[in-house]
A and B are shown apart, each in its own frame.
Chain A
Amino acid sequence: MTKRSDDIFLNPVGQSVPRIDGRGFVTGETKYTFDMKLPGMLVGKMLRSPHAHAKILSIDTSKAEKLPGVKAIITSKDTLGVKFGSNEFFFPQTADQQALEDDKVRYIGDELGAVAAIDEETADNALNLIDVKYEILPAVFDAVEAMKPGAPQIHEARNNIALILPTNFGNIERALKESDYVREDTFYLPSAAHTCMEPHVCIGQFETSSNSLTLWLSTQAPFKVRETLAKCLKMDLSDVRVIKLATGGGFGGKLEMLPMDFAACLLSKKAGGVPVKICYSREEEFSFSRRKHPMVYKLKSGVKKDGTLMAITGEIIADGGAYCSYGPTVLAAAMMRIFMVYKIANFRVTGYRVYTNNPISGAIRGFGGVQSGFAVESHMDMLAEGIGMDPVTFRLKNITGPNMTVTNKMIITSNGLKECIEKATAACDWAKKYGKQKHLKKGLGLGIAADVMGSKMYKSHESAGSVIKIEEDGSIHFFTGAADTGQGSNTALSQIAAQELGISYNRIKITAADTAITPFDTGSFASRVTFISGNATKLAAADAKRQILEIIAKEKNIDVQHLDIQAEQVVNTQTNAPLMTFDKAVELCYSFNYGTQIIGRGSYNPTTTPVDFRTGEGNVSASYGFEAQIAEVEVNTDTGHVKILKMWDAHDVGKAINPQSVKGQIEGSLFMGIGYTLWENLQFEEGRVINPNFANYRMARSVNACPVESILVETNDPQGPFGAKGMGEAALLPTAAAIANAIYDAVGVRIKDLPITPEKVLKALKEKI
């Protein structure tokens, strides 16, 4: 990058500096794992079950082994039979999957082997030559059916219920009795796919002489994958190296080890150490990666005439598919988000995560908050209507505020929700428009949401580390384990590093992430990176700066307390006099007399209280982000077609480190949310995905992109780096409800199951007459 001395580079926090890695993306130079080729590389393919539920009787690979060009075949016999899960620290029973299953298959696509061959055609032919004998078992594809006595037993869990998360606060019966209006609603949420542009892809290479392996991976969480690989292969963490290259999207789908990652490494070992690449096709991506939990929300709540929300009760049933994956966290997050948004003393909601013979449900942007957002925010509008109250007034009366401990003991510090609602409603002219455009078949709808900035629901700690190395010429190497999958964390973290060090953003070169080189980082999820990795980075930069200033202090005989680096100058803060340039200061550190390596380190682990999952009590995150979103729609009553005219998103981001990136995240979340509201629906027949391609799985495209007005609310979080909080997911949570509420305002029909298709709108319009 050309060196520029513009102010935005000197004080980069709060500035829309260009992406630190942007050039390679627009020139095509950036290498993704998808693009990587290594000498002698083989093609790997997974052997999958064609049955939704079956016993594996035998696997005969002898014919396939004789096929010329086949270099390795693995089945469960080659594994150590270790079971893994993604939430096993808090929920040990949810470690329920083997990299290659040995006794049973539980969904169409379940992995029971893999082959490595010289090319794709040979690998496919080899798969066809493997003879697997099954005993087909009865299967169940609906979560409610699966819970009934006598349903096919998928794992050992009673009634196929992998997990129950209960909550029970206050006195529900009394609160409902004291309510002036009580209503019950049921909402249905379908499955959806991540559809990262870069599919799941990995290259595994085993080195026999050192008994170590390297996995090049498209991932959001290299350290999480390392942990699971090491566990399944019974290797030391330091012998497993996961290298994250540029990653073409993640959205929650690339947060954990998939059997393909394990298989690529084991195939390489069996093939004598040649690298093995496994790359999903788009069909595999839709069918066999991870998917959104379909959920049913049954809610019953009560309000007083004055708008006081008295009680929320109900149950959530989540179709978890064949294995647990991140299911426990998804379910917990779906429930806990309600507490962050509403002051509610009486709360009793029970969540069930249920095994079925569908593909595995897991994490996807929003972690259950999207399903929760639609159900709860639609329900709130209906409650407000029941007492004849404007939904904005109703929200303002019941929302949480700053510096409060909510019912389940979550501790909210900064909270700009009120300001978000006020700013969004002012921007869209709510007072003038709401309820007054029915003659035009236009309407406005509001949804609000909150999101966690990292949460200790994954493992014992939630830490991130950063290292900043100042080179002899003053250029800077910054190492972080945080994984940029497109959200711009490489840029935001570099901005934080530069700001804290007091030097130009252009000096920084970033390496992220490589488990052998960069410090540990839990990964890119739960909107945690800006907040947690950002804090670690700020600490590392402060540490490097302190080391430089200590040398200057010695040289100039000034108390180090009175020295700082600002805009590339070492200054005496008492006199404001510049003492020397940053370059000169570094020269001094590496001079004959001092010869001191400047290596700053930072480690950050947010302060939270462990959650008791038997009660739902605890503080999952050190900070919470908030937002209000409004949709304006136009409904064609002849066709049922819903057109989104505009969306407003007022977002409490603490502090926008890079406003352009923040707006990019808001817009991206919103369009994903619009897709889920109007079209996206991963469909199944007897456990088989029937729309595994872009033609039949419709998402928002350019022609659907409506105008978006993003309003950034900066509450300056006391624990955030420069006041920043995370925000990569929240803008997706209230979108569906905002649109559904707007449709109701426009034409008076209430759709409670997504996606909101023209057929459903037309049917509802007809039923209304």
Chain B
Amino acid sequence: MTRLRINNKMYDIELKGHETLLEVLRETLGFTGTKTACTEAECGACTVLVNGKAILSCITLAIEVAGSEILTIEGLSKGEELHPIQQAFLDKGAVQCGFCAPGFILSAKALLDKNPEPSLDEIKRSLDGHVCRCGGYLKIFDAIQAAGEQLKNND
């Protein structure tokens, strides 16, 4: 049995050893908010946070993150209340098809937790591993800046 701590809850799972975190999240546990568009570490859609750091779950073995704090998109809002980054993505029109959004939002969280006032250049560089084919990059930048502002005011 391997114990995974996901969104502040414990899950005991029988691992075969080679399963990726992505497979465990989506297939075993049903956290389908985590997406993938390549499974080759090239699109960023499978991003989750491990101990606050954005990682690609498609190239991370589940066994590697046993005992770590894992956050998926499902764990971000507090009940009905959206996290400021989620709210900002909605308010700024940063979501089109939505498939890449969970990955972007979690990368943004990792960035803003470290630096609530990132420059535009820092935002762009921190998101370079993500693909948004609908092309909403500019609105994603706006959302992250607005969320940073909000988070700073909340502190």
With both chains docked as a complex, state the minimum distance between the C-beta of A756 and any C-beta of chain B, in angstroms.
19
Q: Encode A659-674 as 1/0 by CB contact (under 8 A) with B.
A: 0110110011111100
Per the bound structure, the CA–CA distance linking A246 and B72 in Å amounts to 20
Please, which residue of chain B has its CB at the minimum distance from the CB of A675? B135
Per the bound structure, the CA–CA distance linking A198 and B102 in Å amounts to 13
Q: B128 is contacted by which of A281, A282, A485, A701 (Cβ under 8 Å)?
A: A701
Query: Does any Cβ of A come within 8 Å of B138's Cβ?
Result: yes
Cβ A198 vs Cβ B90 within 8 A = no
Q: A26 is contacted by which of B95, B131, B132 (Cβ under 8 Å)?
A: B95
Per the bound structure, the CA–CA distance linking A19 and B45 in Å amounts to 21
Query: Does any Cβ of A come within 8 Å of B139's Cβ?
Result: yes
Per the bound structure, the CA–CA distance linking A702 and B89 in Å amounts to 16
With both chains docked as a complex, state the minimum distance between the C-beta of B93 and any C-beta of chain A, in angstroms.
4
| Size bracket, chain A contacts | 35 or more
Cβ B138 vs Cβ A708 within 8 A = yes
Per the bound structure, the CA–CA distance linking A194 and B140 in Å amounts to 21
Cβ A699 vs Cβ B131 within 8 A = yes
How many chain B residues touch the partner (CB < 8 A)?
Answer: 52
Cβ B131 vs Cβ A701 within 8 A = yes
Cβ B38 vs Cβ A282 within 8 A = yes
Cβ B90 vs Cβ A26 within 8 A = yes
With both chains docked as a complex, state the minimum distance between the C-beta of A168 and any C-beta of chain B, in angstroms.
39
Known contacts A26-B90, A197-B37, A702-B127; A695 and B134 CB within 8 A of each other: no
Cβ A26 vs Cβ B101 within 8 A = yes
Per the bound structure, the CA–CA distance linking A28 and B31 in Å amounts to 8
Within 63-116 of B, Cβ neighbours of A (below 8 Å) are at 72-74, 76-77, 82, 86-87, 89-93, 95-102, 105
A-chain residues with CB within 8 Å of residue B77 when the two chains form the complex:
27
B-chain residues with CB within 8 Å of residue A664 when the two chains form the complex:
93, 96, 134, 136, 139
Known contacts A27-B77, A667-B136, A670-B135; A19 and B99 CB within 8 A of each other: no
Please, which residue of chain B has its CB at the minimum distance from the CB of A674? B135
Per the bound structure, the CA–CA distance linking A208 and B62 in Å amounts to 41
Majority secondary structure of chain A interface residues (helix, strand, loop or mixed): loop
Known contacts A27-B74, A35-B32, A197-B35; A705 and B99 CB within 8 A of each other: no
Per the bound structure, the CA–CA distance linking A251 and B127 in Å amounts to 23
Cβ A18 vs Cβ B90 within 8 A = yes
Cβ B74 vs Cβ A28 within 8 A = yes
User: Which of B37, B38, B134, B137 has the most chain A CB within a 10 Å cutoff?
Assistant: B134
Cβ B124 vs Cβ A703 within 8 A = yes
User: Which of A27, A28, A282 has the most chain B CB within a 10 Å cutoff?
Assistant: A28
Per the bound structure, the CA–CA distance linking A197 and B41 in Å amounts to 14
How many residue pairs link A and B with beta carbons under 8 A? The number is: 166
Known contacts A26-B89, A28-B33; A694 and B96 CB within 8 A of each other: no
Q: A701 is contacted by which of B33, B95, B130 (Cβ under 8 Å)?
A: B130
Q: A25 is contacted by which of B34, B101, B139 (Cβ under 8 Å)?
A: B101
Cβ A668 vs Cβ B135 within 8 A = yes
A-chain residues with CB within 8 Å of residue B82 when the two chains form the complex:
23, 26-27
Cβ A695 vs Cβ B42 within 8 A = yes
With both chains docked as a complex, state the minimum distance between the C-beta of A31 and any C-beta of chain B, in angstroms.
7
Q: A694 is contacted by which of B42, B90, B97, B134 (Cβ under 8 Å)?
A: B42
Query: Does any Cβ of B come within 8 Å of A32's Cβ?
Result: yes
Within 238-272 of A, Cβ neighbours of B (below 8 Å) are at 246-249, 251
Query: Does any Cβ of A come within 8 Å of B18's Cβ?
Result: no
Please, which residue of chain B has its CB at the minimum distance from the CB of A18? B90
Cβ B33 vs Cβ A661 within 8 A = no
Per the bound structure, the CA–CA distance linking A486 and B99 in Å amounts to 9
Query: Does any Cβ of A come within 8 Å of B39's Cβ?
Result: yes
Query: Does any Cβ of A come within 8 Å of B125's Cβ?
Result: yes
Query: Does any Cβ of B come within 8 Å of A391's Cβ?
Result: no
Please, which residue of chain A has its CB at the minimum distance from the CB of B37? A197
Per the bound structure, the CA–CA distance linking A281 and B40 in Å amounts to 10
Q: B86 is contacted by which of A27, A34, A693, A707 (Cβ under 8 Å)?
A: A27
Q: Encode A185-208 as 1/0 by CB contact (under 8 A) with B.
A: 000000000111111000000000
Cβ A667 vs Cβ B138 within 8 A = yes
Per the bound structure, the CA–CA distance linking A506 and B131 in Å amounts to 32
Per the bound structure, the CA–CA distance linking A29 and B73 in Å amounts to 9
A-chain residues with CB within 8 Å of residue B99 when the two chains form the complex:
32, 34, 196-198, 248-249, 486
Please, which residue of chain B has its CB at the minimum distance from the CB of A250? B97
Cβ B40 vs Cβ A31 within 8 A = no
A-chain residues with CB within 8 Å of residue B87 when the two chains form the complex:
26
Cβ A28 vs Cβ B72 within 8 A = yes
* Residues of chain B at the chain A interface (Cβ within 8 Å): 26, 31-35, 37-40, 42-43, 45, 72-74, 76-77, 82, 86-87, 89-93, 95-102, 105, 123-125, 127-128, 130-141
Can you sample 23 A-B contacts with CB below 8 Å? Answer: A22-B95, A25-B95, A26-B82, A26-B87, A26-B89, A27-B33, A34-B35, A195-B133, A197-B133, A198-B37, A248-B98, A281-B39, A282-B38, A282-B40, A485-B97, A486-B99, A663-B93, A671-B137, A672-B135, A701-B128, A702-B137, A702-B141, A705-B137
* Residues of chain A at the chain B interface (Cβ within 8 Å): 16, 18-19, 22-32, 34-35, 194-199, 246-249, 251, 281-282, 485-488, 660-661, 663-664, 667-672, 693-695, 699-703, 705, 707-708
Given contacts A26-B102, A281-B39, A282-B38, 17 further A-B contacts (CB under 8 A): A22-B95, A27-B33, A35-B32, A194-B133, A196-B99, A197-B100, A197-B134, A248-B35, A486-B96, A486-B134, A663-B93, A670-B135, A693-B38, A694-B43, A694-B131, A705-B137, A707-B138
